[in-house]
Amino acid sequence: MNITFIFFLGLFIALIGVIPPGLLNMTAAKISLKEGPGRGIMFSTGVCITVFIQTYLAAIFARYLSTRPDVIAILQKVAFVLFILISVYFLAIATKKKEETIVEEEVKSKRGRLAHGMMLASLNLFPIPYQAYMTITLASFGWLDFEKTSIITYVTGATMGTFVMLYVYIFFFDKIKTNPLTSQKNMNYVIGSITGLVALITFINILKDL
């Protein structure tokens, strides 16, 4: 299988997951503004180290699931419920009048930015189920297999995709920060909508298997 194609698949899937303004990309942008782009890039590198590990674990987990269709059927139902709950959670938060300043609180950390990025990314467990679900879906289309070379290539692409989007936030935040989408309220709406869409796709797949 073409490893270049697999690499860009991973890059694209990761870009989609990181495009919405979130804690990691907004923190990278804030660090860059306050401490310089170099510190922002160091933070992003820490994030990407953790993302590499998370995506690799997700791919290994997906490889195991691909041999157990009975387990996939159960986990699809569990994933559907979880994505619904996550969507409701973020959409409910978005209705709050008070804007939260989570990013501002996080950037006050005096620890090394590399470790800071790794730690903050490790608190975000969403990439594991997201990437596991996406790799299983890509494999079902015949676009990805679970050979070691393919997995490493996909994981590398996903890591690069994450870094590219963080890089965009670091160097173009001044231009995008006035965009209404970057408010905490609208950010929650975006995340809730994305998880809702994933829940809908999962529900359709469940119906197909009945």
Mean pLDDT of the chain: 79
- Residues sharing a CB contact under 8 Å with residue 29, sequence separation 6 or more, in sequence order: 40, 169, 170, 173, 177
Name the nearest CA neighbour of 42 among 135, 115, 91, 142.
115
3-state secondary structure the chain: CCHHHHHHHHHHHHHHHHCCCCHHHHHHHHHHHHHCHHHHHHHHHHHHHHHHHHHHHHHHHHHHHHCCHHHHHHHHHHHHHHHHHHHHHHHHHHCCCCCCCHHHHHCCCCCCHHHHHHHHHHCCCCHHHHHHHHHHHHHHCCCCCCCHHHHHHHHHHHHHHHHHHHHHHHHHHHHHCCCHHHCHHHHHHHHHHHHHHHHHHHHHHHHHHC
The overall pTM is greater than 0.75: no
Q: pLDDT confidence of 106, banded at 50, 70, 90?
A: very low
Residue 17, pLDDT > 80, answer no
Q: Is the pLDDT reported for residue 11 higher than 70?
A: yes
Residue 127: its pLDDT value, please?
84
Task: Please report, as a single letter, which amino acid is at residue 133.
Answer: Y
- Per-residue confidence band for 54, with pLDDT thresholds at 50, 70 and 90: very high
State the Rg of the chain over Cα: 18
Give the whole-number percent of the chain exceeding pLDDT 70.
Answer: 79
Residue type, 103: V
Residues 192, 94 contacting (CB under 8 angstroms)? yes
Domain boundaries in the chain?
3-209
Q: Band of the pLDDT at 124, cuts 50, 70, 90?
A: confident
Give 170 or 98, the one with higher predicted confidence.
170
pLDDT digits (tens, 9 = 90+) for 186-201: 666 766 777 777 778 7
Average pLDDT over residues 166-183: 69
- pLDDT digits over 109-120, tens only? 445 889 999 999
pLDDT of amino acid 111: 55
